[in-house]
Amino acid sequence: MSTTDRNVAYRQQAREWLSEHAPSYSGSVRDGLSVEDDLALGKRWQRLKAESGFAAITLPQEYGGAGGTEVEKAIFSEEEMRFDLPTAYFSISLGMPIPIMARYANDEQRNRHIPPAIRGEEIWCQLFSEPAAGSDLAALRLAARRDGDGWRLNGQKLWTSWAQFSDFGVVVARTDPSVPKHAGLTYFYVDMKSTGISVRPVKLLSGNEDVNEVFFDEVYISDNQRLGDVGGGFRVAIDTLMIERYAVTDPAGYGPPLSALIDLARQVGDGDKAAIDDGQVRDEIARAYCEQQGLRIIHDRAVAALARGGEPGPEGAVRKLLSAASRQRIGALALDLAGVEGVSWSEGDAIRSHFSASWLDSPTLRIAGGTDEILRNTIAEHILKLPQDYRPDKGKPFN
Amino acid sequence: MSTTDRNVAYRQQAREWLSEHAPSYSGSVRDGLSVEDDLALGKRWQRLKAESGFAAITLPQEYGGAGGTEVEKAIFSEEEMRFDLPTAYFSISLGMPIPIMARYANDEQRNRHIPPAIRGEEIWCQLFSEPAAGSDLAALRLAARRDGDGWRLNGQKLWTSWAQFSDFGVVVARTDPSVPKHAGLTYFYVDMKSTGISVRPVKLLSGNEDVNEVFFDEVYISDNQRLGDVGGGFRVAIDTLMIERYAVTDPAGYGPPLSALIDLARQVGDGDKAAIDDGQVRDEIARAYCEQQGLRIIHDRAVAALARGGEPGPEGAVRKLLSAASRQRIGALALDLAGVEGVSWSEGDAIRSHFSASWLDSPTLRIAGGTDEILRNTIAEHILKLPQDYRPDKGKPFN
Amino acid sequence: MTATFDLDADQVMIRDQAHEVLAEYSTLSRLCALLENKEGFDTALWNGTAELGWPGAVVAEAFGGHDIGWTTVCMLAEEIGRVCGAIPHSSTAVVADYLGTLASGHPDREYLADIAAGKVIATIGICEKGTNLLPAQPSVRFDGTRLYGTKAAVAFGAVASHALIYVRSSPGSVGLVLADLNDPSVMRQPHPALDDSRGYADLIFDGTPARLCENGRQNSAGWLLDRAAIAYACEQLGGAQACLDIACDYARTRTAFGQSIGRFQAIKHALADVYAAIEIARGNVYHALSPDGLANLPVAAATARLASTHAYELAAKTAIQVHGGIGVTWEGGLHHHYRRSRVLALELGSPIGWRNQLIDHLAGAAA
Amino acid sequence: MTATFDLDADQVMIRDQAHEVLAEYSTLSRLCALLENKEGFDTALWNGTAELGWPGAVVAEAFGGHDIGWTTVCMLAEEIGRVCGAIPHSSTAVVADYLGTLASGHPDREYLADIAAGKVIATIGICEKGTNLLPAQPSVRFDGTRLYGTKAAVAFGAVASHALIYVRSSPGSVGLVLADLNDPSVMRQPHPALDDSRGYADLIFDGTPARLCENGRQNSAGWLLDRAAIAYACEQLGGAQACLDIACDYARTRTAFGQSIGRFQAIKHALADVYAAIEIARGNVYHALSPDGLANLPVAAATARLASTHAYELAAKTAIQVHGGIGVTWEGGLHHHYRRSRVLALELGSPIGWRNQLIDHLAGAAA
């Protein structure tokens, strides 16, 4: 059987499995659930996937992964995304910290930590950003000082997704403030139940509380929880951000599908004609449709490149840049079409089905995980080979 | 009579004078004229204005100016702009070099040079930009070295408007390359018929040739043609760029009036409905209308501020930024409405009456006299008080 | 930065008072609380402004008002917009302004005294669902003496005492009525919205006594909407300027990559574009308040509204973007402007409707 | 940077040949000369490509063609677009493609051999004035044997030997005919245009012999236009990529304020936006060439055309802006792309018409 045939068969198998199981964990089943209940549902879904060989598809089977290919992972993600499943709680955990553990931790640590994470029994978070270190990650201040065989951590992290539900986390700390900022960092993993860690959810503009402040007060970490060299933490942090070779994302930026806007535009209007016959509405829909279709083809080609053993290419930045801005624009347009009733919004409205919720949340999308500005810099520097911005702190001691 | 009443009366007087004289120098009179003939017509118009007290309105009467106020100048400009007169040849000459001569030259030089320029008999150009010094004026290289009582100039200027018709020019040259770039410049005026000066018109994308390259080969200038101190040339250059306290400009960026687009949109369509009923067309027109009306009010308020003895405010950058981009967008839209026939264009089509000519020339507008990027920097730094860009050459010797 | 209004000494005094009362009441923590407690508006701020006589600003002295003029009302709207003030200042002023145009014998003129005394909180319910400004068939029916039907998503409908409602009466006929919302026949259904500090409610009328409230203009509701658009544009302008000021302050002080973020052109140029949009909006608002603008009200109101809507929405989202992460937090507070910029763009009808009003007039004039 | 096409070995060879011939003929000085000498197209380049067999690329081997496929034709269009090549490659290929769909007995199929032999230069005259793609009443009338009337502003009309023209015949009926432009009954009136390297002419027919050239599809002209849109999109994509490459090179080398201008975020971010637009266009073009795209041609062609039009126009104007003064000079040469980006956006009908084609299909599908 050729690779292509195998992938077609895999997709079929994934589809069948999902159509059998996913409905009991998605859609209306989740309506009205508290976050805690939704998380519990998500944990059950994750365990079922692990038992059926659909969890952590690219990780080795010895740890409970599926030992599959990047293409299989992409195929399963595409198919899984058709359902509205409670998978968000595991996207960080299994996307970055756990693969990093698989790369950097020792055998004992891998055996202890990877299987329960894949089964959804334990969740990992990623403690990187800080109040004064967002786009500029290397400016982080959380301090780790030597204490006997281990380290004491003091300081604060911010924007840590799902920290409130996490059992463990990977953390970058400053171990030497006297050297230039990138050189003084070291990377650890930490038990989130350690004495001295406190987590405070941060309420976002939409009312969501999926990110947190995490405070470290004399938190002790054994040196064998260090991943990589002392002073080598920035390298491991970059590895963490790059370790997912390819992540399937939604061209509509997880907002309502464009077909919902088209339906709306066919229903409302000014009394004389439907909004779909208004040229400005048509222009916006056409623009969004071209963008989303272009992104879908870019995705297909990236998966094809993976299947040929190549690299998926650097288009992820384009995808995030365009889909975030588009969701904001499309959301506003949909409310314009609704007129006075466009103001309607209730806390908890699903982003996928409510344009007002999608619009309200969209600024977060344009900032989290790389602001529009950072993404444009990434494209300009990494793809177009234009020079880096001026960095006055380059080579200077951090303190 | 109050100031307000005086200004109303002045406008009335300007209108009457213009309605009597301007028709013989504008509009269809200019159709088909060669540039030389149009210049000759312009010189006659300038002489007539000078004889009637409407030339160089803010310059002293002793030199042939009108000795009037900034408000009177603005009022006359507004009224004169209603006609399509051949005034462009004098806009630089009387806008900057001549007022600078009035400020920096000695009595004898003023008496020699200012009156013929005001009468339009002599034209002055401004030799500032160079191939490697556009937005970054202080990076200019044209060298002036001491030679006895005077200076020898060698090098090249670029983008010099009307140099091919000019009798004199003001020029900034580098007299000391060993000091930081702003400190090594000196300002002179020069007879454009001097030995060693050659002028080559630069053809622009629209076919126009109103800017030039000017080459200096061992051009001798007496030291008494120096304006300001040796090494003080950058200051005088900035004075030159700022000396026009307020210049009246067209909110439509000298392109066709918006009413022409509305008329076009009412005439063409897709067979079923007129383009004016297309929402995208409506949106573009509404946006341009709001911008142009906003700019008109900003202008009115600036003139009112001048009338009260205040300063007109720094909104000139906004005007140029918006009107240039708008002209490009509106031009393209008008061609879209024309469909296949939108491709039509003939060299020499007037920008005021042909959307294709307006569109083709519009990139020039977004670059000449301050690029969009420089204008945004100006607004950010001078109005919003944001910090200056990083300048790695600051304080370093030029060479 | 440029002020919108050329103020006389009285107006300067009024504005200074406004600064005080707004600074006292309209704080960030109170704004957050308003979204959470669902009270629907800022009672304390309203009472504070009522003490200063703002509700009666355009009411004639004969009715106990201050009669200090439409421009002053709009200047106050700008100040309220600057701090995201959650009070029905603009709608109350517009209703008062409208009642003042009624024929002298009209009984609804009596409400002017109540407005001036701060006893009436007024809102307007004209636009409905869809992209047109005036519905052809308003959803509330007036049978000559009573009202029936629902007006959805009326701003401050949950807290106002009275609402000027656009209704259909005899077949094909439309008009305005002033409804007493405290009448037992009125049910107010809270309408959860993007900005719950503005007490949206569906007003359900079931036999509410009323009488026509027409001033004899051919299109009184359109006229009212145009006037309201100008007051709203001032709120939007104030909000936009506040967003720009806040973002510039942050850009000057926040550092990243070893320098203040205001030194990056991406930040500088985005803020320069906001400045340009605000100056254009300011020009159009100023025009709408001038004699020329008032003489050509539908065009002047539409341009003021379109330009100010654009400026406020651009300013609010740019301010968030400049702030990065802190910009999207609840406590960071910029979301108040972000929400407000959107609901102010919708409350008086879809921007598409205003675009059409402008172009219909321009194309008509060119015809 | 990402290539559009996944090429096989033959296609790589063809592309390499293309690079050579295009580099030899399509130089900046020749492009400037073409605008000045009004020859109407690049004869030398055309002959060079004819020698390589490009005009017969989609012609069946039975007619002496190479039959190397539509995708190869489009790949060549991309290469031509990259250097602003001034030849009717796309229109000739589209006409050949269309003639190949005629019933086997149709006499116009004989032209395929002439195309393959490089003896026919073909253009298309379908769209007219206004924002619709297909005119309801085409301006040229066909009485069953002869043509009358004027088709305005036909690209390469001044130099082509044949044109596929959209005509009206019996009342209410429309169709395509292939006209011999060298027939003495045809007058070609040069039509001065923004890009005079494309020999625009008004074609004036006065009794030109012709016959219907229909392939039995319900909307043959629409089908032809869709295919043409895809080839044009490839030219646009190539042009856009060239503008981006040129601008990035310049930004890396030109200095201002003591550093390379490519270090300024205003430049970097503008070019990043161009990159994004190009990648989106590339995705849509690729889709339009895929079996899925060809199966849903009206949507795939419209998206490829809209996205590529946007990308090319954005790239051309951004490249000029990045260059500053030198960008607007005649000799700087960027104006060729700027002109070309605009005329390619118009030759196959207004972008508004393509927008409508897309939305009509999407809204129909949603219905």
Share of chain D above pLDDT 70, in %: 98
Confidence of residue D26 (pLDDT cuts 50, 70, 90): confident
If you average pLDDT over residues B93-102, what whole number do you get?
96
Q: How much of chain C exceeds pLDDT 70, in percent?
A: 98
CB C361 within 8 A of CB C353: no
Structure tokens that stand for B160 in this block = 């010099």
Residues B2-19 as b or e (16 or more Cβ within 10 Å = b): eeeeebeebbebbbebbe
Tokens 């402008």 locate to C358
State the maximum Cα–Cα separation within chain A, in Å, rounded to a whole number: 79
Over range C74-97, report the average pLDDT: 96
Rounded distance between C-alpha atoms, residue A124 and residue B310, angstroms: 63
Strands D174-180 and D162-168 turn out to be: antiparallel
Which of C194, C254, C255, C334 to probe by mutation at the A interface, max A CB count within 10 Å? C194
- What are D148's two structure tokens? 């009358």
CB B205 within 8 A of CB B161: no
- CA of C313 to nearest chain B CA: how many angstroms apart? 15
Average pLDDT over residues B193-198: 97
**Nearest CA of chain C to the CA of D244: how many Å?**
20
Report the distance separating Cα A161 and Cα A141, nearest Å. 19
Torsion angle, alpha carbons of B217, B218, B224, B228, to 10: 60
- Cα C200 vs. chain centroid, distance in angstroms? 13
Identify the pLDDT of residue A3.
77
Side chain identity at residue C311, one-letter code = A
DSSP A187-227: EEEEETTSTTEEEEEE-BTTS---EEEEEEEEEEEEGGGB-
D264/C265 touch (CB, cutoff 8 Å), yes or no: yes
Strand partners, B215: B156, B198
Across the interface, whether the CB atoms of D275 and A387 are under 8 A apart is answered no
**pLDDT 10s digits, B256-277:** 999 999 999 999 999 889 999 9
- Confidence bin at D297 (pLDDT 50/70/90): very high
Residue C264 with chain D: CB contacts under 8 Å? 265
Span B158-192, pLDDT tens digits = 999 999 999 999 999 999 999 999 999 999 999 99
Q: Which residues of chain A are within 8 Å of residue D249 when distances are taken between CB atoms?
A: none
Mean predicted confidence (pLDDT) in D329-346: 97
Q: What is the chain D residue with the closest CA to C268?
A: D266
User: Alpha-carbon distance A265 to A279, whole Å?
Assistant: 12
Which chain B residues are closer than 8 Å to A279 by Cβ? 278-283
For D258, the closest of B356, B371, B391 (CB atoms) is B391
- % of chain B surpassing 70 pLDDT: 99
pLDDT value of position A135: 86
Contacts of B341 in chain D (CB under 8 A): 128-129, 152-153
Q: By the CB < 8 Å criterion, does C356 face chain A?
A: yes
In the chain, the amino acid numbered A90 is F
Most B CBs within 10 Å, among D36, D342, D357, to test the B interface: D342
Quick check: B309 pLDDT over 90? no
pLDDT, tens digit, for every residue of A249-293?
888 888 999 999 999 999 999 988 999 999 999 999 999 999 999
Task: Give per-residue pLDDT as tens, C12-49.
Answer: 899 999 999 999 988 888 999 999 988 899 999 999 99
Min Cα–Cα distance to chain D from B40, Å:
26
Asked if the Cβ–Cβ distance from A337 to C353 is below 8 Å, we say no
DSSP H helices, chain D, are 9-25, 28-37, 43-51, 70-82, 89-99, 111-116, 220-253, 265-289, 291-295, 297-323, 334-347, 351-366
Chains that touch D (3 or more CB pairs under 8 A): A, B, C
Chain D contact set for B342 (CB, 8 A): 342, 346, 350
Whether residues B343 and D200 touch (CB distance < 8 A) is answered with yes
Confidence of residue B362 (pLDDT cuts 50, 70, 90): very high
Q: Give the gap in angstroms from C-alpha B29 to the nearest C-alpha of chain C.
A: 27
What are the backbone angles phi and psi of residue B48, rounded to the nearest 5°? -60, -45
A-chain residues within 8 Å CB-CB of B281?
279
Neighbours of chain A (3+ CB pairs under 8 A): B, C, D
Separation of alpha carbons A14 and A21, rounded Å: 11
CB contact under 8 A, B271 and D353: no
pLDDT tens, position by position, B122-145: 999 999 999 999 889 999 999 999
| Contact predicate A101/A189, CB 8 Å | yes
List Cβ neighbours of A349 (8 Å cut-off, separation of 6 or more): A356, A357
Q: Which residues of C touch A325 (CB under 8 A)?
A: none
Contact D330 B332 (CB under 8 A): no
Length of chain A as a residue count: 399
Which residues does chain C have within 8 Å of residue B376's beta carbon, measured at their own beta carbons?
A: 265, 268-269, 272-273
Q: For residue D22, what are its two tokens?
A: 């295009």
Test C265 with B373 for CB contact under 8 angstroms.
Answer: yes
H/E stretch holding D14: helix D9-25
Q: What Cα–Cα distance (Å) separates residue C206 from each residue in A340, C138, C188, C223? A: 22, 15, 11, 28
- Interchain CB distance below 8 Å, C258 and A391: yes
What phi, psi does A157 have (nearest 5°)?
-110, 160
Average pLDDT score, chain C? 94
The answer to whether C350 contacts A336, with C-beta atoms less than 8 Å apart, is yes
CA distance to partner chain B, nearest, from residue D8 (Å): 37
- Asked whether A260 and A330 are in contact (CB, 8 A), the reply is no
**CB D286 to CB A390 under 8 A?**
no
| CA pair distance D164, D17, nearest whole angstrom | 29
Contacts across the A-C interface (CB distance below 8 Å): 162
pLDDT, average across residues C277-290: 96
Of D24, D151, D148, nearest in space to D83 by CA? D24
The Cβ of residue A218 has, within 10 Å, a number of other Cβ atoms equal to 12
- Compute the average pLDDT of residues C78-90: 96
**Cβ-Cβ contacts under 8 Å, C267 against chain A:** 373
Local structure of residue A244 (DSSP, 8 states): S
Chains that touch C (3 or more CB pairs under 8 A): A, B, D
Kindly give the parts of chain A with pLDDT less than 70: 1, 313-314
Using alpha carbons only, what angle is made at residue B149 by residues B145 and B153, rounded to the nearest 5 degrees? 30
> Is the pLDDT score of D1 beyond 50?
no
Is pLDDT at D367 greater than 70 in this prediction? no
- D334-347 and D220-253 are packed helices; what angle lies between their axes, rounded to 10 degrees? 160
How high is the pLDDT of residue A143? 97
Give pLDDT, residue A314: 65
In C80-231, beta strands by DSSP E: 122-125, 141-142, 146-154, 162-168, 174-180, 186-190, 201-209
Location of structure tokens 């109040």: A131
pLDDT of residue C367: 43
Helices (H), chain C: 9-25, 28-37, 43-51, 70-82, 89-99, 111-116, 220-253, 265-289, 291-295, 297-323, 334-347, 351-366
Contact D266 C265 (CB under 8 A): yes
CA distances from B224 to B208, B220, B228 (A): 36, 12, 10
How sure is the predictor about D365, in pLDDT bands with cuts at 50, 70 and 90? low
Q: How far out from the chain centre does Cα C188 lie? A: 21
CB contact under 8 A, B345 and D264: no
Question: Which of A278, A285, A337, A393 should one mutate to test binding to chain B, selecting the residue with the greatest count of B CBs within 10 A?
Answer: A278
> Looking at beta carbons, which residues of chain C come within 8 Å of B315?
2, 279
Question: Cβ of C266 and D269 within 8 Å?
Answer: yes
CA-CA distance, A147 to D82, in Å (whole number)?
Answer: 63
Say what the pLDDT of residue C366 is: 47
What is the maximum alpha-carbon separation in chain D?
A: 71
Reported as type and span, the H/E element at residue D246 is helix D220-253
Among D126, D62, D51, D142, which Cα is nearest to D94's? D126
The rounded distance, in Å, linking the Cα atoms of A303 and C366 is 55
The rounded mean pLDDT for chain D is 94
Lowest mean pLDDT among A21-25, A251-255, C71-75, C221-225: A251-255
Q: Give the pLDDT of residue B369.
A: 83
Q: Which of D132, D266, D320 sits opposite B363 (nearest CB)?
A: D320
